[in-house]
Structures are given as C-alpha cells and as structure tokens.
Structure 1
C-alpha cells in the first residue's frame, strides 16, 4: 500500500488542506481499477466509516497478494468542509467562501481531456482545486464510487442509466432498497465522471460496459455505527470481488431485487408553509396517494393552526428530513413512486 496526500493551498496566507490518499497496486494489468471516496459533503460520514473498515481488509488482501486491480481510496475527501464550523455545527455541504455546493460545479470534460483538469491550478480557488484534483484522480479508474448519505434515509443510489443494469451487482451487494436512475445532466462529481466516461473523445456513448460512476447514499447522516459500517464495507468488498478487482474464493453474489426508478418518479414532498413538523410516516413505509405524511403546526395555539401534508402518489418513503421545523418550501420527504410524478422536472439533481 502506498499513502500520499493531495495538498491544497488555502485562499489566504498560512492555510493549506491535506487529503489522505491510499493506493494499492494490482497484480493483474487486465483487472478493473477502482476509485472510492467518501465525505465530499464533509458532514456525511457513513462512507468514511465504511472505508476505514474496508481499508483493513484491503491491507490484508495486499499482504496476501489478493489485489488484482489498482485501487485508490480517499476516505475523507473534503478537509475544507470538515474545518467549517458555524456556531458549533459543521457546515460540510457548501463552501462558505463561494457559497457553492461541494458536490456541484465539477468540470464536464471528455475522458481524453483529463490532464487539462490540472492546468493553471494556482489561478483557481481552493474549493475548485480540490474538485479538480479529486476528479482527475477518479478519471484514472474504471469504477468510481462516491459515498454519501441522505438525512434520514433508506440505502439507495443514484446511477446513470448508461451504467444500468450492469450496476445491479453493486445494488445487490450493498442491500440497496432502491436505485434512482439519473439523467447525467448535472455537474455533481458522479455525473462529471459519468460524462467523461460517456464522452471518451467522440460522440456520446449510450452505454459504457466495464465502467461505472455512482453516488451511493448510505442511509442517514446519523447512521454511523461500527456494525453497520462493517456490513457496508463487506458489501463493497463483495462488489470488488465480483468485478475481479480482488480475489476471494468465499464470494457469493447477492442479486438485486429492488426497484430502479427514473428521477421523474421521485415525488419531492415540500412544506407549503413554515411550521413545526409532526411526521406521521417513517422511511421504508409504503404509502398511497392521499395518505397523511405530516402535520405542520403553522400557528401554534390557534384552533386552525395546523396544515396537513399528504402523499400525491403511491410509492415508498425513501428519505425524510431530520429537522423538525420547516421553512416554506423545505424538503420533507422523497417518495419513490410507481409512475412519473410531474411533467416539468428539469434535468439534473433533485436538490441543491
């Protein structure tokens, strides 16, 4: 195993950021290469715990000569966000200097343009340099997993339909309860990788066998427990074995039996007015159109001071907000539905 660091100089004097990187050299040049990262949103830590335990297995596999393909692991990808604390709470999703999401505004380039990502880095902000270094590293691999989590959530993933259904093996090994098929039209990290894979130097490819770029949502932000992280690490390990990246004679594949739904089928349940949230339904529960999901106490104490929020479609509650007060328009839930929920959804991500 080789350890190194990306060093990102700060935008003010005396500051620099260090990103630890772990690399394993495979012994089979024909085996797929893999890039794994976690905590690009710095306050989403289930993936960091997963990779900590996965690295234990990879070090042993390295000593046993069981690593076939090159593996790069970045267990804590965003030291800038990790250091941002406002009134005692980490602000790991948005860069406070530029007010941009750490998982947006990645360059959309063809794979043959990979080296241009490192051009003129000194002229760019620290957050932009970090994004370009991470993307450059990822584009050197065949299989790319970006580990995130939601607020309160089932285990699910965003996967470009160019990689589906080949990526069903990952969904099965990680016991995912849903897959959201993205349209590849945003500037998020995973979709920037997918864009490069689909535009390798010529026309856009409709499918890219042997390649993968995926955002894995490892349940909710508070789901950081040793047994859970070890099970997830075992799932990623099994995925690597199944893809021929590591060798393990005990491997048995787990099929995926859950739904794979386009983003048009996701109902974003939002608060029509501000208020205290009283949830009536939990993640993982099926709902029917018209079912009561939450009550908002909009005017506490008033006889008519509540507002009911109901499901617009049949489906499965995939995520729920951990907040118990909503501003007007805040997301309360995502429901994975059996049909399209709206006709006017713009391509791209579901949330900022």
Structure 2
C-alpha cells in the first residue's frame, strides 16, 4: 500500500490543505481499476468509518496477493469542509466562502480532457483545485463510488440509468433497501464521472456503460457511525469488488437485490406546508398509503386548528427523513420512493440543493 498526500494551497497566505490518498497496485492489468472516496460532504462520516475497515481488509488482501486491479481510496475527501465549524457545529455540506455545495459544480468534460483538470491549477480557487484532483483520480478508474449519507434514512444509492441493472450487484452487496435511478442532469461528482464516460470518444453520447460504475452510496443517516455497521458495510463492499474482479475472494454468490428501484421522477419530496415544530408519525423503512398521516407541523402551537397535517400523496416507501424537528415553510421533510411519477414539478438533476 502506498500512502501519499495531495497538497492544496489555501486562498489566503499561510494556509494549505492535505488530502491523504491510499493506493494499492493490482497484479492483473485487465482487472477493473477502482476509486472510492468518502466525506465529500465533510460532516457525513459513515463512509469514512467504512473505509477505515475496508483499508484494513485491503491490506490483508495485499499481503495475500489478492489485489487484482488498482484501487485508490480517499477516506476524507474534503479537508476544507472538515475545518468549517460555525458555533461549534461542523458545516461540511456547503463552502462557507462561496455558499456552494461541495458536491456540485464538478467539471463536465469528455474523458479525453482528463489531463487538463490538473494543469494550471494556480488559476483556480482551493475548492476548485480539490474538485479537480478528485475528478482526475476518479476518471483514471472503471469503478467509482462516492460514499455519503442522509439525515435519517435507509441504505440506498443514486445510480445513473446507464449502469442499471448491472449495478444491482452493488445494491445487493451493501444490503440496500432502495435505488434511485438518476437522470445524469447535474454536476454532482458521480454524474460528472458518468458524463465523461458517456462522451469518451467525442462522438455520439453513450447511453449504456457496461463494466463501469459511478454511484453515490447513501449509508443510512449521519448518526449511524458505529463499528459494527462500518465493518458490515466494508465486508459488503469487498464482496462487491470481488464480484467485479477487483480483488480475489471466495466464490460465494451475492444475494439478489430485492429493494425498490425508482427513477427520480418517482421520488416524492415531502415538504413542510408551514413553519413550526415537526411531529413525525412515520419512520424511514415504513411503507405508506396515499393519504396516510406522515407528520404534523405545529404552526401555531396552543391555538385551535394551529396544527397542519402532512399526508402521503401516493403509496410508497419512506427512504429518508430530516433529523431536525423544526421546519421552515417548504423545507424538506421526507423522501418517499413510489411506483408512479410525482405530480410535483421537478427540475432535472439532484433532488436537493
């Protein structure tokens, strides 16, 4: 295993950021190359815990000669966000200087333009340099996983339709309850990777990418950082790599994925109709019917008729729920995966800011 650091100069004098990178060299040139990162949203740490145990497993595999394809691992992909605290609370989703989501505004380029990502870096801000380094590393691989988590939620993933249903092996290996089929219309990290692959040759855009995968994996909720869960997920991810030929392992077949598969248009984003304290009546993992009471918003506590009911617009599976218990008007409350498209208007791209 080789450990190196990418040094990113800060935008003010005397400041720099260090990005640790772990690399394993494979023994078979034809084996898929893998890139895995965690904590791009710096306050989402289940993936960092997972990679801690996965690296332990990979070191063991290396000693046994079982690393077949090159593997690059970045357990803490955002040292800039890790340093942002406001009144004692880590602010790892948005850059406080530019107000930009750390998982947006990745360059949408053809694969042949990869080398240009790390040329002339002094012309770019520290955030842009970080994003360029991450994308450059990922585009040198065939399997790319970006590990995130939700507020409160099930294990699920965002996977571009170009990789489905081949990517059902990842969903099965990590025991996911749902897969959201994305539309490739955003500048998030995993979609920027897929964009480059789709435009690899400079000719007609590819619609299927067999043998490749770029996915955002949502590892339950922000508080689900426990050694038993991290070890379980690390073992599942190792089994996925074994199934794809990246590492050698026993031939135990993966189970069949039996969770919900829903395009983004079928995700009901449940939003608060009014501001106030939130009383949730249903939990992630529950199936609901149209009209079921999901939450009550105490818009005017103590006043008759001051409570506002929030009901399910259609049948579905509750996949996520916010951890806060106060809502602003139109703030997100839940995601429900449904069999039918939502009637709410949705812009192409990601579900949330």
Q: Secondary structure at the match of 2:217?
A: strand
| Mapping of residues 99-110 of structure 1, within 5 Å | 99-110=99-110
Distance 1:47 1:209 in 2: 26
Partner of 2:193: 193
Distance 2:259 2:307 in 1: 36
| Mapping of residues 84-233 of structure 1, within 5 Å | 84-201=84-201, 202-233=203-234
TM-score by length of 1: 0.99
Partner of 2:77: 77
**How far off is 1:120 after superposition?**
1.9
Distance 1:231 1:87 in 2: 34
- Structure 1 stretches of at least 4 aligned residues deviating more than 3 Å after TM superposition: none
Residues 242 and 251, structure 1, Cα contact 8 Å, conserved in 2 = no
Deviations 1:102-139 (A, max 9, x none): 00000000111101111221111111110000000000
| Mapping of residues 203-352 of structure 1, within 5 Å | 203-249=204-250, 251-342=252-343, 344-352=345-353
**How far off is 1:251 after superposition?**
3.3
Q: Secondary structure at the match of 1:260?
A: strand
Deviations 1:293-345 (A, max 9, x none): 00000112112211000010100000001000001111000000110012632
Q: Secondary structure at the match of 1:101?
A: coil
Query: Across the two proteins, how many residue pairs are aligned to each other?
Result: 352
Deviations 1:265-290 (A, max 9, x none): 00000001100000000000000110
Partner of 2:47: 47
Distance 1:259 1:348 in 2: 20
Residues 178 and 258, structure 1, Cα contact 8 Å, conserved in 2 = yes
Distance 1:344 1:319 in 2: 20
**How far off is 1:203 after superposition?**
1.6
Q: Secondary structure at the match of 1:23?
A: strand
Q: Secondary structure at the match of 1:51?
A: helix
TM-score by length of 2: 0.99
Residues 241 and 251, structure 1, Cα contact 8 Å, conserved in 2 = no
Distance 1:343 1:209 in 2: 33
Residues 35 and 145, structure 1, Cα contact 8 Å, conserved in 2 = yes
**How far off is 1:33 after superposition?**
0.4
Give the unaligned 5+ runs of structure 2.
none
Give the unaligned 5+ runs of structure 1.
none
**How far off is 1:250 after superposition?**
5.2
